[in-house]
């Protein structure tokens, strides 16, 4: 099998992060065939950081050189690049959300079929694999409910300062789209399709993204309770996803720590639990293995377009509520 050529559109945080993971892969499996961003400053940064990766003059050039196109640009541009990739006969792997408009996203998913996937790294997370193993072994008995809690000292988070122009605006940004969507995907992947949402978002600052949310919904037949807020924690980024059953509970803490509740009520981490800084490269490596399969038309474990669209519907319903 020939090496899969992956082109990158968007040289922000996520584009750079995945590009760094690509160049660390076996070049016989995949290689970075090019990158483009409309920002000259971003392209200069890529030239210094990735001397071996061609800088392309435009998005069309990236698409032409690729087997699979990774779209890491701001959300409003996602579907334009994705549609161009499909029209050129290429596969598409992109950041969430699929689009800023639910109707447009629905039409795209119907058109794209199995030619695309979305970068929800929980699909490849070692911690999620541990949680799934506990559940399948009967450690929690019959699953009964899911609870999601997220909190931020400030929004955007300090490392996202360069993206504040869109990340703290109501049209494309906010922590519900950027962070909560990951935990909704996890709920769908382990519980079932998301439905029956009732929620509310609070926008206290004109022209800025939400500062608080609260919602209830279902993942399959499991009730889900969701809360999130800015300025109510001293942590830059705090989150807990918990699945309770009639015999016990498991949870995912701060992105990468899988824990199981013991009979005495204490929480025990998985033996191989890793902080996010160490867990992220492992998940990205497995994500890219899935991208190679996507590009070859093979079955993969990545988040499907249907899953991503279901998450987007719920997110936008909460924000509209």
Give the tens place of pLDDT for each residue, 9-43: 999 999 999 999 999 999 999 999 999 999 999 99
Number of other CB atoms surrounding residue 205 within 10 Å: 11
Query: Is the peptide bond preceding residue 220 cis, with omega within 30 degrees of 0?
Result: no
Q: Predicted confidence band at 1 (pLDDT cuts at 50, 70, 90)?
A: confident
Position 161 scores a pLDDT of 85
> Check: CATH 3.30.360.10 for 123-276+309-320?
yes
Q: Are 290 and 302 in contact (CB under 8 A)?
A: yes
Domains 4-118 and 123-276+309-320 share a fold: no
Displacement of CA 315 from its chain's centroid (Å): 13
> For the chain, what are the domain ranges?
4-118, 123-276+309-320
Distance from C-alpha of 188 to C-alpha of 302, rounded to nearest angstrom: 13
CATH fold of 4-118: Rossmann fold (3.40.50)
pTM: 0.96
Please give the DSSP secondary-structure letter assigned to residue 168.
T
pLDDT digits (tens, 9 = 90+) for 63-95: 999 999 999 999 999 999 999 999 999 999 999
User: Lowest mean pLDDT: which of 57-61, 107-111, 129-133?
Assistant: 107-111
Mean pLDDT on 96-111: 93
The three-state secondary structure class of 33 is strand
pLDDT digits (tens, 9 = 90+) for 130-186: 999 999 999 999 999 999 999 999 999 999 988 899 999 999 999 999 999 999 999
pLDDT at 321 over 90: no
Q: Predicted confidence band at 244 (pLDDT cuts at 50, 70, 90)?
A: very high
């Amino acid at each position: 099998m020939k090496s899969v050529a992956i082109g990158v559109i968007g040289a922000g945080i996520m584009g750079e992060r995945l590009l760094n993971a690509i160049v660390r892969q076996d070049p016989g499996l995949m290689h970075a065939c090019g990158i483009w961003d409309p920002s000259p400053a971003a392209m200069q940064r890529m030239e210094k950081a990735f001397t071996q990766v061609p800088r392309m003059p435009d998005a069309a050039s990236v698409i032409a050189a690729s087997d699979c196109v990774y779209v890491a640009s701001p959300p409003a541009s996602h579907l334009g690049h994705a549609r161009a990739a499909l029209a050129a006969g290429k596969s598409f792997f992109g950041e969430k959300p699929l689009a800023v408009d639910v109707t447009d996203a629905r039409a795209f998913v119907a058109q794209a079929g199995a030619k695309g996937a979305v970068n929800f790294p929980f699909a490849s997370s070692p911690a999620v694999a541990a949680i799934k193993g506990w559940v399948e072994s009967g450690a929690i008995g019959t699953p009964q409910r899911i609870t999601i809690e997220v909190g931020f000292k400030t929004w955007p988070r300090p490392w996202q300062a360069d993206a504040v122009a869109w990340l703290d605006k109501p049209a494309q940004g906010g922590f519900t789209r950027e962070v909560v969507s990951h935990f909704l995907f996890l709920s769908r992947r382990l519980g079932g399709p998301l439905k029956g949402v009732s929620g509310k978002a609070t926008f206290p600052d004109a022209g800025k993204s939400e500062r608080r949310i609260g919602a209830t919904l279902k993942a399959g037949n499991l009730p889900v309770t969701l809360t999130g807020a800015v300025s109510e924690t001293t942590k830059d980024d705090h989150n807990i996803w918990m699945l309770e059953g009639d015999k016990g509970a498991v949870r995912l803490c701060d992105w990468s720590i899988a824990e199981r509740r013991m009979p005495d009520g204490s929480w025990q981490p998985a033996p191989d639990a890793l902080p996010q800084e160490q867990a992220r490269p492992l998940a990205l490596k497995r994500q890219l293995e899935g991208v190679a399969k996507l590009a070859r038309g093979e079955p993969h474990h990545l988040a499907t377009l249907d899953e991503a669209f279901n998450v987007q519907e719920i997110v936008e319903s909460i924000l509209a509520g």
